[in-house]
């Protein structure tokens, strides 16, 4: 089994990454990590979109612009770690999602216009931490869940969150420890 760890953590001493590393330590499988900030994934501007559309139209999928999509489509399990930023997650993760949404690699549209998955993965784990309380799951985890389900056919989706880490006086080690116990049960 191949686990793809999509690391959208930004800070060097990221607590979200610490939880993800704990989760990864439980796997005995092949683990591939993609560190989104280190990769410096480019957004789809006019030039890149034009290039991509032309390649897709000609069914020429050999260009490196498709590498992320290919990697995602081949993974058996997806683990995403992303801190809770502005009710959601860091923009680099959205940029990544835009890069992997490639018709002909990760999905295709049915005759009725619905996306049909071309991905192997059936399970996704989403890990996040927040400074205060997570006031809504809708725009972070909820968005990822909807995308994974509707485009990539991933139905088994787990959500791990450690909240209130920046609240003055918070017992951070205790919160993280409790979250690790939760991870062990997945």
Ligand X SMILES: Cc1cc2nc3c(=O)[nH]c(=O)nc-3n(C[C@H](O)[C@H](O)[C@H](O)COP(=O)(O)O)c2cc1C
Which residues would be at the binding site for ligand X (CB under 6 A)? 9-11, 14-17, 83-87, 129-132, 165-166
Nearer to ligand X, 22 or 85 (CB): 85
Least spacing, CB of residue 2 vs ligand X, in Å: 25
Nearer to ligand X, 17 or 179 (CB): 17
Least spacing, CB of residue 86 vs ligand X, in Å: 5
The phi-psi region of residue 38 (left if phi > 0; otherwise alpha if psi is between -120 and 50; otherwise beta) is: alpha
175, 142 Cβ separation under 8 angstroms = no
82, 90 Cβ separation under 8 angstroms = yes
HSE toward the beta carbon, residue 16, CA cutoff 13 A:
30
Nearer to ligand X, 10 or 157 (CB): 10
Nearer to ligand X, 118 or 170 (CB): 170
Give me the DSSP letters along 81-116.
E---BTTB--HHHHHHHHHH--BTTTEEE-TTS-EE
3-state secondary structure of 35: strand
Least spacing, CB of residue 170 vs ligand X, in Å: 10
Which helix (H) or strand (E) segment holds residue 34: the answer is: strand 30-35
Least spacing, CB of residue 9 vs ligand X, in Å: 5
Nearer to ligand X, 66 or 141 (CB): 141
Least spacing, CB of residue 169 vs ligand X, in Å: 15
């Amino acid at each position: 089994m191949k686990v793809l760890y999509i690391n959208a953590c930004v800070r060097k001493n990221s607590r979200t990454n610490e939880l993800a590393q704990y989760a990864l330590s439980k796997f005995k499988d092949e683990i591939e990590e993609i560190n989104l900030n280190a990769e410096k994934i480019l957004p789809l501007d006019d030039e890149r979109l034009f290039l991509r559309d032309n390649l897709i139209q000609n069914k020429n999928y050999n260009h490196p612009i498709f590498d992320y999509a290919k990697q995602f489509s081949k993974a058996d399990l997806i683990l995403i770690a992303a801190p809770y930023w502005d009710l959601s997650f860091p923009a680099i993760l959205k940029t990544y999602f835009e890069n992997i949404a490639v018709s002909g690699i990760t999905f295709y549209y049915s005759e009725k216009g619905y996306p049909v998955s071309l991905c192997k993965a059936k399970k996704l784990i989403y890990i996040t931490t927040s400074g205060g309380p997570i006031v809504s799951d809708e725009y972070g985890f909820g968005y990822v869940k909807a995308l994974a389900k509707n485009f990539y056919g991933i139905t088994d989706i787990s959500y791990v969150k450690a909240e209130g880490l920046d609240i003055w006086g918070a017992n951070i080690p205790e919160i993280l420890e409790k979250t690790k116990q939760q991870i062990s049960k997945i």
